[in-house]
Amino acid sequence: MKILVAEYAVGAGIEEFMLEGKAMLDTLVKSFVSCGHVVLYPSAGVKLQEGKAVRTTGFEETVRKLSKECDAALVIAPDEILGDLTEIVEKNSVNLGCPSNSIRLCADKLECTRTLSHAGIPVPETIGSGEYGGKYNGDFVIKPRFGCASEGIYRSKRGKLKEGFIATAFVEGEHLSVSLITGKTQLPLTVNRQLIEIKDNFSYKGSIVPYHCERNKEIIDVATKTARILGCCGYAGVDIALGDKPYVVDVNPRPTSSIIGISKVMETQIADLIIKSKFGELPDHVKINGSFTFKKDQLSFF
């Protein structure tokens, strides 16, 4: 097949997220090519060893044009714009990622949390407007209602929310993520430990893939239910703060940086699983060999 893999940082030339974006794109393009597919990717200047770079004339317009030329497409972009970009793909090709309506639900942190809470999934206490703190002695995590990554997220005990921000109770515990593939069935890939520096602000530094702990089954169970409830398909990542329960703190309806590590330790090609989630049957399990740690500031060496 001819497949479009469109990653926003590389395609739009966003330097702030270029290291992660390029590493994710390179991982996916290599995997699709190794599975025998022809791969096109929009680029504002970056050229990878595999696949064919297509000079971007505007990221959205390039996605629209190339999706009409390809049999299938996968878009990676900030969650607040990913829904619209995916809708373009859905109209022109076969979408290998989450459906646009699922992406929009995941992108709305307040509505996503409410949906999961109503379905019995453990989530932190969340406040959508007004004052936070009061009689509650713990910290809150203040973050944009729409958005992704750890930038712009900070801790605060009390205050008044600005418009467009929400407050969630800070959960003491380990910061983990679950990578999984959803098709007709679900295939958990790995539980990962997120290397996050927490001071006044939150800063993502990298990941350990996979990360083993005694509560993996409990963690995976919550993540797979979360993906089903939100209608995720293909690859998705579920961020979890592991306290007395595995609390879901974010859902990424797209490939995440964990695929960089997964590609190093998983015997199966990630591209093969993404294709099978759409066109075939997923295996019952995948074989993982060893572990891999990557730091965000070292991604240029991969």
Q: What residues contact 135, with CB distance under 8 A and at least 6 apart?
A: none
Claim to verify: residue 209 and residue 289 sit in the same structural domain? yes
pLDDT (mean) for 55-61: 94
pLDDT at 67 over 70: yes
**Residue 59 within a domain:** yes
**Residue 110 within a domain:** no
For tokens 């479009």, what's the residue?
4
Q: Does the predicted model carry a pTM greater than 0.85?
A: yes
- CATH number of the domain bearing residue 22: 3.40.50.11770
**Residue 46 within a domain:** yes
State residue 148's pLDDT score: 62
Pairwise pLDDT comparison (57 vs 58), residue with the higher score: 58
On average, the pLDDT of the chain sits at 94
Claim to verify: residue 200 and residue 273 sit in the same structural domain? yes
- CATH number of the domain bearing residue 207: 3.30.470.20
Its domain, for residue 155, covers 124-169
Claim to verify: residue 235 and residue 200 sit in the same structural domain? yes
Angle ∠(45,27,143) on CA atoms, nearest 5: 80
pLDDT (mean) for 11-27: 94
Percent of the chain surpassing pLDDT 70: 97
> Of 122-131, 151-160, 258-267, where does mean pLDDT reach its minimum?
151-160
Pairwise pLDDT comparison (114 vs 203), residue with the higher score: 114
Give the chain's domain count.
3
**Residue 103 within a domain:** no
Claim to verify: residue 150 and residue 214 sit in the same structural domain? no
> Residues 52, 64: contact at Cβ < 8 Å?
no
**Residue 119 within a domain:** no
**Residue 132 within a domain:** yes
> Of 112-126, 143-157, 243-257, where does mean pLDDT reach its minimum?
143-157
Claim to verify: residue 162 and residue 182 sit in the same structural domain? no
